[in-house]
Amino acid sequence: MWRGLFILLLWLLAQPGAAWAQAPVQMPLPAPLKVLAGATRVESAGHLAMLKDVNGQLTLAQAMQSDDWQALPGEMNLGFTQTAIWLRLDLERDAAAPADWLLEVTNPHHDDLRLYSAEPDGSWRERRAGEDAPHSAHDMDYRQAVFKIALPNTERHTLWLRFVSRNSVSAQLVLWQPEAFLHGVQIESLLYGLMFGIFTAVLLSHLFFWRWTREPVVGWYLIYAGSNMLSVGFTMGYIQQILPVTSAPVDVAVAILICGVLWVATKFSTLQLDLARVMPRTERLLLRVSGGMSVVCIALALGVRYSAGVVPAQLYSIVLVVVLLAIALLLWWRGHAPAKLFLLAFGVLMVGIFWRYLRTLGFIAPSAWTDNSYQVGYVVHMVIMSLAITGHYNQMKRDKLAAQAALSESLEKQVAERTVTLLDEIAHRKKQEIDTQRALDVEVKARLEQENFVSMVSHEFRTPLAIINTVTQQLARQLDAPPEKSLQRCTNIREATKRMTDMMDGFLALDRAGGALRLNRGTFDPSQLFNALAAEWDTERVQVSYDNLPLSYLGDVALLRVALRNLMTNAMRHSPADSLVRLNALGTPDGGMEISVTDEGVGIAEDELPKLFQKYFRGRAAQGQPGAGLGLYLVESITVLHGGTVQVDSTIKKGSRFVMRLPGHQE
């Protein structure tokens, strides 16, 4: 399993970033973004054009004159790339629409973001944002880049944006009315303030609980939760907004947090799942692999480049999430109590992490949900963990009271337990005696069936073998016999051989039909089956017809062929040579089939009908004729294995009709 996951991780790392991300479309440049009257928030998706500056050397004039611009069908979502990216956005506003707007560029992790807009005198104004530019240089002191945009007239206005980032290059461009933007920021500040308040309260409660209990799992959770809280602060851009730091130290801190939390999260998860007790080898393997990945990824992020360490760390996090959830599901299935809390508390968090990493790597488009899935999952996770800690504390108190009560009643409980144990032992011995007797009965029955089977096989095979031996001797003695006589003798040999082949088919299929083997299900064309059966018989003696059959059927075509051959052979054996045997198949509304075999034979006595499908049973009409008594038994067994039924209607001296009903929609 681990070898396969490692190969999957290497394969993902080998894929180019552009294969993950949203690719531009080779089509005419998109239409301008219309700013209508009354609008307070306008998204730019579908109105952006993109240019890739591989060397990062293009000037604004060169970018404007380039012929390599391509339409971007949605939001920009390129994953990790070292290429400089240019975006072009054309704006047109209604005469009644406001002239002053704010352009928000989501994702606070762009290192160098530059906006070029035309000035009234025809020159181009450059404004900078991103982590490499101090917040004092931004148009607005906000965690993300926000530019003030003026649309003084209804003519077309073109904005040019240049992105360079060591992080994931993805963003949404949204035009806001200033009042609407400030209102959204107020709501956002309230929600994120509430979230960080919950983080702080939960961390303090965990710290208190750890100082009281000194439980390792709580201590590791404090480290794990604190790391994640810092990661959220950096991810949302709040720490960068508060502290005067540029992209270099931010990238170092984020890389250490993202890569280092691999081992911390694994250590905490294995402790919470109690893997050291139930799956010690798996626990050691997880810690070694995660520790090695943390060290390697940190070294790559600091020594090579940011994405060289962060991308494999995030890919490994996805694999780790899947592995931990799979282990937890397995342990939960086995009744391991800690797995229930893990799935409840960590399932939501891991889904949020998984979704956020897919968005960062460029697999899915940015949106409000993908941008905040990790934070939402983490808040829910923290709340559940707090409730779990409270519940654990209350359970400890209940356990203490229960232990005191149990101590006072220990003697009575011991007597009751010993009495129950004695009664259980008596019941167990009785059950063993019954099981032994049943096993003995089964063995005796199996021995009798084996003796009958051996006797029947030796008897039935002796006759065709004797025929083959006699006819072969006649052919050898009379090599110059007339051709007609030699042909008749060869026909006798073929008939004897066919009889032995039919019996061998029945014997080999007997164990499968009895349940020793499972059906070899496969999809086949029923019409081909009946066409093949028709070709095996004399058309003057056998009439095969079918109508409205399903185009395909899921079943064991080999066993069904054995069953139908047995019905046809049985019908021909017990009907006059000049009579007609009819095989008819009809499709049923549920995709199944109803198959009937009708003969004009001697019929079956009423008292023999209930025993007709028993193993080795042969009726009075079959006495003196070849056969093993397995044909109809196999027919019923094969039909039942397919979930169907078989019945027979018979009238003395008029014939019999066997009907197999096979249901459709087999699973």
Distance CA 89, CA 159 (A): 5
* Residue 528, both tokens: 């081909």
Q: How crowded is residue 26: how many other Cβ atoms within 10 Å of its Cβ?
A: 7
Of the candidate ranges 8-17, 63-72, 432-441, the one whose mean pLDDT is the lowest = 8-17
Model confidence at 6, pLDDT cuts 50, 70, 90, reads very low
Half-sphere exposure of 443 (CA within 13 A, CB side): 6
Q: What tokens appear for 623 in the block?
A: 């006495």
DSSP 3-state of 117: strand
Task: Tokens for 645, please give them.
Answer: 């039924």
CB contact set of 234 (below 8 Å; sequence gap of 6+): 240, 250, 253, 254, 257
Among the ranges given (79-88, 154-163, 592-601, 606-615), the one the predictor scored with the smallest mean pLDDT: 606-615
Pick the more confident residue, 139 or 237.
139
**459 alpha-carbon distance from chain centroid:** 55
Evaluate whether 184 touches 176 at the Cβ level (below 8 Å). yes
Identify the DSSP state of 29.
P
Distance CA 115, CA 104 (A): 11
Nearest to 165 by CA among 274, 43, 83, 255: 83
Helices (H) and strands (E) in the chain, counts: 17, 20
Q: Is the pLDDT of residue 379 over 60?
A: yes
Nearest of 511, 513, 595 to residue 553 by alpha carbon: 595
Beta-bridge mates of residue 530: none
Q: Cβ of 320: how many Cβ atoms within 10 Å?
A: 22
Tell me how far apart the alpha carbons of residues 328 and 341 are, in angstroms, rounded to a whole number. Answer: 9
Eight-state DSSP code of residue 25: B
Q: Is the pLDDT of residue 439 over 80?
A: no
d(Cα 363, Cα 18) in Å, to the nearest integer? 10
* Confidence at 362, pLDDT banded by 50, 70, 90: low
Element (H, E) at 433: helix 410-477
pLDDT tens across 500-514, in order?
Answer: 776 666 555 555 444
CB 325 within 8 A of CB 317: no
**CB-based contacts of 348: which residues, under 8 Å, 6+ apart?**
377, 380, 381, 384
Buried b (16+ CB within 10 A) or exposed e, 251-279: bebbbbbbbbbbbbbbbbbbbbbbbeebb
List of residues 6+ apart from 160 with CB closer than 8 A:
60, 63, 64, 86, 87, 88, 115, 116, 117
| Residue 2: predicted pLDDT | 40
The tens digit of pLDDT for each residue in 271-297 reads 878 888 889 999 999 999 999 998 998
Q: Is the dihedral of CA 405, 407, 409, 413 positive or negative?
A: positive
pLDDT at res. 168 = 76
Q: How many whole angstroms separate alpha carbon 604 and alpha carbon 447?
A: 31
In this predicted structure, the answer to whether residue 636 has a pLDDT above a threshold of 90 is no
Strand 84-93 relative to strand 33-35: parallel, antiparallel, unpaired? parallel
Would you say residue 467 has pLDDT above 70?
no
Q: Is the pTM of this model over 0.85?
A: no
Torsion of CA 490, 493, 494, 496, to 10 degrees: 160
Identify any residues that bridge with 33 across adjacent strands, giving them in sequence order. 91
For each of the domains in the chain, give its residue range(s) and CATH number, in order of start.
2-176 (2.60.40.2380), 200-400 (no CATH), 518-662 (3.30.565.10)
Confidence of residue 360 (pLDDT cuts 50, 70, 90): low
Measured distance CA(492)–CA(486) in Å, rounded:
10
Largest alpha-carbon pair distance within the chain? 122
The count of other CB atoms within 10 Å of the CB of residue 225 is 21
Angstrom CA distances, 562 to 44, 635, 636, stand at 68, 8, 11
pLDDT over 90 at 542, yes or no: no
Determine contact, residues 346/324, Cβ cutoff 8 Å: yes
The residue length of the chain stands at 667
In the predicted structure, residue 44 carries a pLDDT above the cut 60:
yes
How many whole angstroms separate alpha carbon 528 and alpha carbon 375? 60
Q: What is the pLDDT of residue 13?
A: 41
Q: Is the pLDDT of residue 375 over 80?
A: no
User: What is the tens place of the pLDDT at every residue in 574-612?
Assistant: 788 788 889 999 999 999 999 999 988 878 777 777 767
Q: Which of 227-241, 448-462, 595-609 has the lowest mean pLDDT?
A: 448-462
Res. 238: pLDDT tops 90: no
494 token code pair: 């073929």
